[in-house]
Amino acid sequence: MGLDLVEMVMCVEEEFEITIPGEVAETLVTPRTVIEYLMSLSKIKEKWSRDYVALCVMMIVERESGINKENFNEDSRFIEDMGMD
């Protein structure tokens, strides 16, 4: 996992006040996989809706990738489609 992706994972952890294990972080290859992982956590599911979590994730991805959120979607791959490493 490259620096861009590590920084993005750290931002998600900070935003949602969680820790994502390294072996899980390596499986997060699209915004959708990040959102689905977050929604699998009872701490997140009990507190926020999927729409809110998705919006936060998309804003983090936009900020960390430098790509306008209009130019990617939940299924865009971080490395292949967005050029993050």
Answer whether residue 80 is part of any domain: no
DSSP 41: S
Q: What is the number of structural domains in the chain?
A: 1
What are the distances in angstroms from CA 6 to CA 26, 50, 74, 78?
9, 23, 18, 12
Band (pLDDT 50/70/90 cuts) for residue 85 is confident
C-alpha span between 49 and 63 (Å, rounded): 21
Q: Does position 1 have pLDDT exceeding 80, yes or no?
A: no
Answer whether residue 46 is part of any domain: yes
Answer whether residue 78 is part of any domain: no
Q: Does position 30 have pLDDT exceeding 90, yes or no?
A: yes
Whether 56 and 37 have beta carbons less than 8 Å apart is answered as no
Q: Could you tell me the end-to-end alpha-carbon distance of the chain, in angstroms, rounded to an integer?
A: 7
Domain that holds residue 65: 3-69
Answer whether residue 83 is part of any domain: no
pLDDT, tens digit, for every residue of 52-74? Answer: 999 999 999 999 999 998 999 99
Question: What pLDDT sits at residue 2?
Answer: 83
Answer whether residue 77 is part of any domain: no
Question: What pLDDT sits at residue 44?
Answer: 97
Band (pLDDT 50/70/90 cuts) for residue 3 is confident
Token duo for residue 31: 């915004």
